[in-house]
């Protein structure tokens, strides 16, 4: 069941070095404040920090007590305070309030702010305005690449999505460029570069500038990774908004995997890793039960061998096998518990029906049923980030009776969705497509009228139908799609839909260019932002040319990761994923929300 890699698949570079570097940097920074100190850590940095250092390392470098940065007065009595934070205005105000309270009390302490991954001028401006510039020293911890897996690097910057795609703020582009620069310094230049999207193009250009400025670092290096592909999230919102059905994606949708760890009531805090998980993570959920039960039976059999063993054999068994078996046992019960819990939730949410609706919407059939399904979910106040996953479901949500079901403040959320291009109003006089006029015939009241708008916005803004046809995203299936033996990337959505983002990557890699994809690029509104850059690179080994770094600007989903892993196995490539954060439909919706919990 777990798909093996082709024997000629290239080896992945070792990314654990990134962790060592980050840790060394942090230690260096802590040592800049010699002596005992209390460390205040921003909540969002705790999980990433946890992955590269532990408390005892911090203690070794004279960190006395640890605090979470919260909006509360600090109880610390230490003479030295160190703050490890993201560069956010509210953190600056918090620090300023502490420092100013100390000043008022006539107390002098030493303060150090370590910004991760970099500081922003706006933050310094606030420090200056608050009158504490100079009282605190500032440093940067350039930790922006966290290996979550052998092939997955996360920048852990979920705010990238909102900042860029909603607000149009380009503050993280330099961070991305720096990260790419670090990778090319460590793993050699990338001979083949491709990209699509406005942000992708800017990040690429800024990175190139950087490389030119720091000329010589990568010169003469043998490339380890043959290709790099940069892609903006807004090139493909559809995929990110679909409900996930591959195991890891489903677990993420259900329990939220944070920083490679799962936080569920049932699971406690557990690393979503280990042997069992590796074998099923990319699988369609329907295969998981069979796999787990097979494993459980094997495990039982292994344990059963104890019976009839003599003392010596028993001793061997205990010393050599028991530990492994126990570990496997723990993992198995973990995943079985997860599956149970998922099943419970999904039956409660009419998951099957939701999926059916989504697929019907993607294909453009059954509009009537789909729309009434959506309407009803809205009437029943099914939380938009919880269950209304389909992207048209989402689009509809944005315009149908928002105030009554989801609270009036969501008005602001809808305005955000419009700004990010997830919803556009229909210009008067636009001709309706066949699908839309079909829907408009069903229109009897105002709410349904809004659904028509949503459809037309889908058709107009994203040209999804045309793209889908051009790229053959909805596979024709004769008979059942055998999810046990996937035939294409569509398996990650039960055979109903090939993720657009992954299809684009596949097509470009096949051609080694955008040639012949002009129409698709035009439909994606990316004519000015699709680029290729090849350097004549004789040194690139054939192995490196089958290693591809895919950079998702604005986040990628586990489904996309699974789909590309599948493609890699088919073609003998291996993909490495660099994402600003792992995302899913709920996170995207929340990023658009104005109502802060």
Partner 1 sequence: MNRTKGDEEEYWNSSKFKAFTFDDEDDELSQLKESKRAVNSLRDFVDDDDDDDLERVSWSGEPVGSRTRPGSFQSLSDALSDTPAKSYAPELGRPKGEYRDYSNDWSPSDTVRRLRKGKVCSLERFRSLQDKLQLLEEAVSMHDGNVITAVLIFLKRTLSKEILFRELEVRQVALRHLIHFLKEIGDQKLLLDLFRFLDRTEELALSHYREHLNIQDPDKRKEFLKTCIGLPFSSEDSAHIQDHYTLLERQIIIEANDRHLESAGQTEIFRKHPRKASILNMPLVTTLFYSCFYHYTEAEGTFSSPINLKKTFKIPDKQYVLTALAARAKLRAWNDVDALFTTKNWLGYTKKRAPIGFHRVVEILHKNNAPVQILQEYVNLVEDVDTKLNLATKFKCHDVVIDTCRDLKDRQQLLAYRSKVDKGSAEEEKIDALLSSSQIRWKN
* Contacts of partner 1 in 92-131 (CB under 8 A): 110, 112, 118-122, 124-126
Looking at the Cβ atoms of 327 and 472, the one nearer to partner 1 is 327
Q: Which is nearer to partner 1, 169 or 519 (by Cβ)?
A: 169
Please pick, from the candidates 70, 340, 409, 518, the single residue that binds partner 1 as defined by CB under 8 A: 409
Cα separation, 40 vs 390, in Å, equals: 40
- Phi-psi category of residue 421: left, alpha or beta, with phi > 0 → left and psi -120 to 50 → alpha: left
Q: Residue 9, Cβ neighbours under 10 Å: how many?
A: 17
DSSP secondary structure code for residue 418 in this structure: H
Using the contact rule CB under 8 A, the part of the chain among 13-21, 241-249, 478-486, 509-517 near partner 1 is 13-21
- Compute the half-sphere exposure of residue 305: CA atoms within 13 Å on the CB side of its CA: 14
Tell me which of 271, 386, 487, 522 binds partner 1, using CB under 8 A. Answer: 271
CB of 174 vs partner 1, minimal distance in Å: 4
Contact positions with partner 1 (CB under 8 A) in 133-162: 137-140, 142, 149
Closer to partner 1 by Cβ: residue 145 or 492: 145
Specify whether the CB–CB gap between 239 and 500 falls below 8 A: yes
Does position 525 interact with partner 1 (CB under 8 A)? The reply is no
Q: Work out whether 465 is an interface residue with partner 1 (CB under 8 A).
A: no
CB of 258 to partner 1, least distance (A): 16
Distance of CA 262 to the CA centre of its chain: 14
- For residue 95, give both structure tokens: 């620090």
Among the listed ranges 173-181, 296-304, 389-397, 518-526, the one in contact with partner 1 (CB under 8 A) is 173-181
Tell which positions 48-67 bind partner 1, by CB under 8 A: 51-52
Would you call 146 exposed, middle or buried from its count of C-beta atoms within 10 A (0-12, 13-18, 19+)?
A: buried
Q: What are the distances in angstroms from CA 170 to CA 160, 162, 452, 594?
A: 9, 11, 34, 20
CB count within 10 Å of CB 63 equals 21
CB of 120 to partner 1, least distance (A): 5
Please identify, using beta-carbon distances, which residue of 217 and 519 lies nearer to partner 1. Answer: 217
Output helix, strand, coil percentages for the chain, rounded to the nearest 5: 50, 15, 35
- Our CB check for partner 1 shows the closer of 193 and 203 to be 203
Instruction: Please report how close the Cβ of residue 106 comes to partner 1 at its closest, in angstroms.
Output: 19
CA distance 571 to 79: 59
Whose Cβ is closer to partner 1: residue 10's or residue 495's?
10
Least separation, in Å, of the C-beta of 377 and partner 1? 11
Q: Is 578 among the residues that bind partner 1 (CB under 8 A)?
A: no
Residue 244 CA to residue 388 CA, distance in Å, equals 12
> Is there binding between residue 295 and partner 1 (CB under 8 A)?
no
What Rg, from alpha-carbon coordinates, does the chain have? 26
Q: Is it true that the peptide bond before 223 is cis, omega within 30 degrees of 0?
A: no
Residue 559: CB minimum distance to partner 1, A: 21
DSSP structural state of residue 219: T
Whether 424 and 453 have beta carbons less than 8 Å apart is answered as no
Range 197-256, binding partner 1 (CB under 8 A)? 202-203, 205-206, 209, 213-214, 217
Residue 533 sits in the site that holds partner 1 (CB under 8 A)? no
Q: Give all strands (DSSP E) within 155-287, no chain letters.
A: 192-196, 227-232, 257-258, 261-264, 268-271
Judged by CB under 8 A, the stretch of 184-192, 486-494, 495-503, 540-548 that binds partner 1 is 184-192
- Considering only residues 426-455, where is the footprint of partner 1 by CB under 8 A? 445, 447
Write down the least CB distance from residue 565 to partner 1, Å.
16
Q: Indicate the DSSP class of residue 366.
A: -
Interface of this chain with partner 1, residues 374 to 403, rule: CB under 8 A: 375-376, 379-381, 401-403
Considering the rule CB under 8 A, would residue 33 count as an interface residue with partner 1?
Answer: yes
Q: Can residue 70 be called a binding residue for partner 1 (CB under 8 A)?
A: no
> Is residue 16 within the footprint of partner 1 (CB under 8 A)?
yes
């Amino acid at each position: 069941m777990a798909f093996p890699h082709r024997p000629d698949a290239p080896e992945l570079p070792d990314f654990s070095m990134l962790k060592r570097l980050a840790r060394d940097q942090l230690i260096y920074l802590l040592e800049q404040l010699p002596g005992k100190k209390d460390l205040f850590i921003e909540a969002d940095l705790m999980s990433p920090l946890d992955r590269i250092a532990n408390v005892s390392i911090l203690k070794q470098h004279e960190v006395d007590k640890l605090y979470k940065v919260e909006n509360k007065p600090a109880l610390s009595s230490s003479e030295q305070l160190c703050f490890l934070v993201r560069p956010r205005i509210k953190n600056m105000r918090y620090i300023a309030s502490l420092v100013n309270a100390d000043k008022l009390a006539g107390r002098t302490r030493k303060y150090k702010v370590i910004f991760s991954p970099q500081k922003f001028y706006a933050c310094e401006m606030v420090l200056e305005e608050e009158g504490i510039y100079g009282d605190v020293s500032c440093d940067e911890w350039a930790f922006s690449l966290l290996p979550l897996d052998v092939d997955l690097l996360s920048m852990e910057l979920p705010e990238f999505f909102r900042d860029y795609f909603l607000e149009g703020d380009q503050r993280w582009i330099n961070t991305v460029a720096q990260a790419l620069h670090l990778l090319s310094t460590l793993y050699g230049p990338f001979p083949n570069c491709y990209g699509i999207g406005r942000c992708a193009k800017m990040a690429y250009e800024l990175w190139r500038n950087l490389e030119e400025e720091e000329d010589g670092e990568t010169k003469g290096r043998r490339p380890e990774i043959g290709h790099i592909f940069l892609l903006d999230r807004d090139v493909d919102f559809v995929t990110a908004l679909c409900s996930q059905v591959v195991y890891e994606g489903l677990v993420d949708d259900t329990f939220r995997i944070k920083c490679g760890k799962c936080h569920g009531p049932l699971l406690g805090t557990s690393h979503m890793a280990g042997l069992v998980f590796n074998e099923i993570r990319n699988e369609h959920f329907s295969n998981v039960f069979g796999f787990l039960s097979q494993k459980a039976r094997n495990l039982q059999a292994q344990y059963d061998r104890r019976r009839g063993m003599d003392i010596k054999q028993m001793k061997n068994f205990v010393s050599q096998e028991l530990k492994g078996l126990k570990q496997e046992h723990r993992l198995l019960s973990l995943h079985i518990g997860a599956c149970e819990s998922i099943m419970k939730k999904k039956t409660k949410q009419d998951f099957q029906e939701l999926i059916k609706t989504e697929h019907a919407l993607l294909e453009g059939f059954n509009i009537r049923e789909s729309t009434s399904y959506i309407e009803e979910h809205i009437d029943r106040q099914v939380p938009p980030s919880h269950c209304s996953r389909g992207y048209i479901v989402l689009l509809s949500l944005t315009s149908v009776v928002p105030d009554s079901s989801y609270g009036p403040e969501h008005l602001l959320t809808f305005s955000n969705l419009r700004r990010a291009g997830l919803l556009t109003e229909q210009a008067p006089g636009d001709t309706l497509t066949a699908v839309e006029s079909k829907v408009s015939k069903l229109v009897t009241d105002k709410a349904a009228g809004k659904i028509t708008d949503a459809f037309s916005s889908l058709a107009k803004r994203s040209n999804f139908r045309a793209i889908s046809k051009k790229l053959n995203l909805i596979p024709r299936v004769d008979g059942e799609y055998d999810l046990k033996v996937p035939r294409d990337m569509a398996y990650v959505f039960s055979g109903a839909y090939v993720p657009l983002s992954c299809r684009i990557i596949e097509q470009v890699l096949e051609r080694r260019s955008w040639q012949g994809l002009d129409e698709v690029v035009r439909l994606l509104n990316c004519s000015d932002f699709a680029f290729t850059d090849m350097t004549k690179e004789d040194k690139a080994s054939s192995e490196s040319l089958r290693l591809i770094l895919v950079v998702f600007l604005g986040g990628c989903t586990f489904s996309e990761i699974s789909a590309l892993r599948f493609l890699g196995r088919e073609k003998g490539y291996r993909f490495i994923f660099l994402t600003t954060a792992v995302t899913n439909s709920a996170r995207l919706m929340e990023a658009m929300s104005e109502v802060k919990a």
